[in-house]
Structure 1
Amino acid sequence: MDASLVPARLRTASGCLAPIAPDTWALDWARCDEAERVSAATRFGIPPSRLAELIDWVTHRFDKDFLWPNVFLTLEGARDFRATFVPADSDAFILGLALSNEDVDGLPWRTEPDPTVGEVGLHRSLSRGFPPAAGGVRLGSDVLGAELDGTLHSYLCNGLEHVFSRQLGALPNPYGLFDDHALARRCAVYAGRDDVGAEPIPWRAWVLTEYPCHPAQPAPALGS
């Protein structure tokens, strides 16, 4: 990434750039060796001694409020996980994702349930059409592409910060996101062009909201 365009610390829902918990490593039936599970949990300050409890917790909630591969259907579920397993002094944060109605309606349903694979969390969440939960701080819009398995890639995974800056005058804010949602939507359209060379997946502008880890906490301050 170009340090002149991208801040040192980011907010993103792309697992390529940021560790996410829980993820598929937290499901007991997922193909994942013990060392990988321990490493993923340790990055969030979760000791190996609690790994079995965590896996049991996540597995029992799967297809209820925790969805494939790493989506909580509710803010309450995400807060419950963090309060139960992640140390209070961790810098882990809770992000909510949202799409405008226009982008949901026009999204090719690559995330639609496959009888041989099952439903991914993005499809179920978007199909319900719930508005973002209250009580958070909108950080900006991220240009993300959706894979078939429900994972997301940031525009930064494809080195598009240069293209967006040069062709569209789009510069990321201190979170690596775009303050102008309409401009982020134009960036997403641009990313989907064949001549750009980004991954051939549906690109959309997703609004990212950060939520306090406990409902009694104040909303996160911008710039923190």
Structure 2
Amino acid sequence: MSSYFGGYYLIHLRKFDFGRLKDKFVYTCSDCINDSLFGSWSLSWTTKGKDELVSVSNDFKISEQTITEINTWADKNFNDKKVGWINVFSDLDAVKEYRNRFFPHVNDLKVLTIYFPDSEVNDIMQTFMPKGTNGALGIWQNLSLKISETDDINEVLIGYDLIGIESGGEFHSLHCHDIADDLSNKFGVTFNKYGLIQERADWGRITEYMNDEENGFEPVPWYVCKVKMRLDT
């Protein structure tokens, strides 16, 4: 089955503070769980991420001058469609430049790439079609280019995530609900050292389960995505 590029994410891993994964790491791009080093706070024209900006400034020791430089960089690259709303990069060189220019002092950052199987793309494109004056979400914008996954020696598959995408572009991970054991019991999936589903599975049945609001998950559309980690950043 073909898979298509959904975006790059610059992630700082945080240890879980609850559930079966307490004190462990999960390599998810969800900023419910990990820190995204590119966020709404990176753009000068939004007030959405101001609280997050305070946290990022304190946690990663970046100055007001650096924030101003980040804003200038992000605004330009947003207009050039090399970054998108929200948290997502569309261009690998842009990820590398952003990371090396603004966070060279942070050693444990990961660049993760997500890909969506062909079976999910049409639904995402229809569900998140831009309406009125609203701009396109970064994931939607990337998928609209239909960039097929390739065999890149600098990118290694680390597993599969189940993500619930909000209308604003943020997304949840299956781990927001601490349901790894539940999915293992119901569908026979296994989780690897990255905290992700190890192997291909019956995604149709699993996403149907996640999308049934009676099961208690966020009432947003849930999808499977393939997660890869860059080795050259």
User: Is TM > 0.5 for Structure 1 vs Structure 2?
Assistant: yes
> Does the Cα contact within 8 Å between 1:158 and 1:199 map onto a contact in 2?
no
Give runs of aligned pairs for residues 30-49 of structure 1, distance below 5 A.
30-32=46-48, 36-49=52-65
TM-score (norm 2): 0.82
Per-residue CA shift, 1:11-51, capped at 9, x if unaligned? 00111001102110011111157664242244345344411
Structure 2: gaps spanning 5 or more residues: 1-17
Structure 1 residues 183, 86: closer, same or farther in 2, change over 3 A? farther
| Structure 1 equivalent of residue 208 of structure 2 | 189
Identity value in percent: 26
From 51, 74, 88, the equivalent of 2:91 is 74
| Structure 1 equivalent of residue 115 of structure 2 | 98
| Structure 2 equivalent of residue 14 of structure 1 | 30
From 189, 198, 208, the equivalent of 2:217 is 198
Higher deviation after alignment, 117-126 or 47-56:
47-56
Larger strand percent: 2
Distance in 1, Cα, partners of 2:210 & 2:112: 23
Distance in 2, Cα, partners of 1:7 & 1:172: 16
Amino acid in structure 1 at the alignment position of 2:178: G
> Does the Cα contact within 8 Å between 1:171 and 1:178 map onto a contact in 2?
yes
Give runs of aligned pairs for residues 1-224 of structure 1, distance below 5 A.
1-3=18-20, 8-32=24-48, 36-63=52-79, 64-107=81-124, 109-132=126-149, 134=152, 135-183=154-202, 186-214=205-233
> Does the Cα contact within 8 Å between 1:110 and 1:148 map onto a contact in 2?
no
Aligned positions, number: 213
TM-score (norm 1): 0.85
Structure 1 residues 127, 163: closer, same or farther in 2, change over 3 A? same
Shift in Å at residue 158 of structure 1?
2.3
Distance in 2, Cα, partners of 1:143 & 1:175: 14
Q: What root-mean-square deviation, in Å, do the aligned CA atoms of Structure 1 and Structure 2 show?
A: 2.3
Structure 1 residues 59, 108: closer, same or farther in 2, change over 3 A? closer
Distance in 2, Cα, partners of 1:75 & 1:98: 14
> Does the Cα contact within 8 Å between 1:120 and 1:149 map onto a contact in 2?
yes
Shift in Å at residue 185 of structure 1?
5.2
Structure 1: gaps spanning 5 or more residues: 215-224
Shift in Å at residue 141 of structure 1?
0.4
Distance in 2, Cα, partners of 1:72 & 1:113: 19
Distance in 1, Cα, partners of 2:218 & 2:58: 31
> Does the Cα contact within 8 Å between 1:141 and 1:208 map onto a contact in 2?
yes
> Does the Cα contact within 8 Å between 1:113 and 1:119 map onto a contact in 2?
yes
Distance in 1, Cα, partners of 2:28 & 2:214: 25
